[in-house]
Amino acid sequence: MQHYNMDLTLKVWRQQNRNAQGGFETYQVKDISSEMSFLEMIDVLNEKLIHEGGDPIAFDHDCREGICGTCSMVIDGRPHGPWKGTTTCQLHMRAFKNGETIVIEPFRANSFPVLKDLVVDRKAFDRIIQAGGFISVNTGNAVDGNAIPIDKDDADNSFAAASCIGCGACVAACKNSSAMLFVSAKVSHLALLPQGAPEKSTRVAAMVDQMDKEGFGSCTNTYACEAECPKEISVMNIARLNREYLASSFNADK
């Protein structure tokens, strides 16, 4: 593809802290290369802001290679921007045209309060994992993983679910701010494997319970989450979560 440079107008959400009133600020950036990543484009703007003695735009980022799930922002109404199956850090500026205006907002959900500008607090996800997103293992010699036979389809589905990077785009995309895609991925990747099976009933109940306590909304199956998920986690996992949850509520021993 032809390389090109572009000038852009950015409307960026600025908010001093959790309790401050936020609002949009407009910035101009010039000579942005089509081969830059979206975050590099913001880096360019931030250097300019720092040079001018201003306050750089706060945004989350870590790996910048699409695996950590840190880079959270909504670009023109799309969490992680317009490309399918792509995180913001992997989104490149060739997705945009010269002269475009881009609106950049934080993930919005009451369960993800804004800390500053585009940075939101996603610890609610950590607490959901703490509630049950693990397996209990006794100490001692590590067991040979390959000694346990696992059905190929189960292994594949488990692996696909495990590719969730916990970014929260599903919550940001959902009109109900529901965390079902995330929780269903975390429930599924363990429930499908023999190592996760012993605790599957208590796990799903505890994680759903924590999800509700954190104030996420309820799923109404609009499937916007699946469309926006950078790891393309399937809503089949949500059906599995519903199934597991129903089964666990019939489990008389729990």
Partner 1 sequence: MALTGIFLIVFLLVHCYVNANVFFSHGEENFNRAAHFMGTNILVRIAEIGLFAGFILHIIQGYKLELSNRAKRSSKYAVTAGNKTSTWYSRSMALLGTLILLFLIIHLVHFWVPSRFGGLTEVNYDGKSVLNLYGRMKDVFSQEWVIIVYLLGCFSLAWHLLHGFQSAFQTMGWNHKKYTPLIHSMGVVFSVVVPLIFALMPLFMYFGWEIPVGELTLLF
Contacts to ligand FES by CB under 6 A: 61-64, 66-71, 87-89
161-190: contacts with partner 1 (CB under 8 A):
173, 175-178
Q: Is 9 in the site for partner 1 (CB under 8 A)?
A: no
Residues 187, 213, 128: CA angle, nearest 5 degrees: 35
- CB 100 to partner 1: min, Å: 13
Nearer to ligand FES, 61 or 240 (CB): 61
Q: Pick one of ligand FES, ligand HEM, partner 1, none as the site partner of residue 217 (Cβ within 5 to 8 A by kind).
A: partner 1
Q: Contact at 8 Å (CB) between 160 and 234?
A: yes
Contacts for 40 with CB less than 8 Å, ≥ 6 apart: none
C-alpha 233/C-alpha 145 separation (Å) is 25
Closest of 61, 55, 4, 58 to residue 31, by C-alpha: 4
Q: Pick one of ligand FES, ligand SF4, ligand HEM, none as the site partner of residue 221 (Cβ within 5 to 8 A by kind).
A: ligand HEM
Q: Where are the alpha helices (DSSP H) in the chain?
A: 38-51, 123-132, 152-162, 169-173, 180-191, 200-213, 224-228, 236-249
Q: Pick one of partner 1, ligand HEM, ligand SF4, none as the site partner of residue 203 (Cβ within 5 to 8 A by kind).
A: none
- CB 225 to ligand SF4: min, Å: 6
Nearer to ligand SF4, 69 or 133 (CB): 69
Q: Is 166 in the site for ligand SF4 (CB under 6 A)?
A: yes
Nearer to partner 1, 114 or 192 (CB): 114
Q: Contact at 8 Å (CB) between 169 and 85?
A: no
Nearer to ligand HEM, 221 or 251 (CB): 221
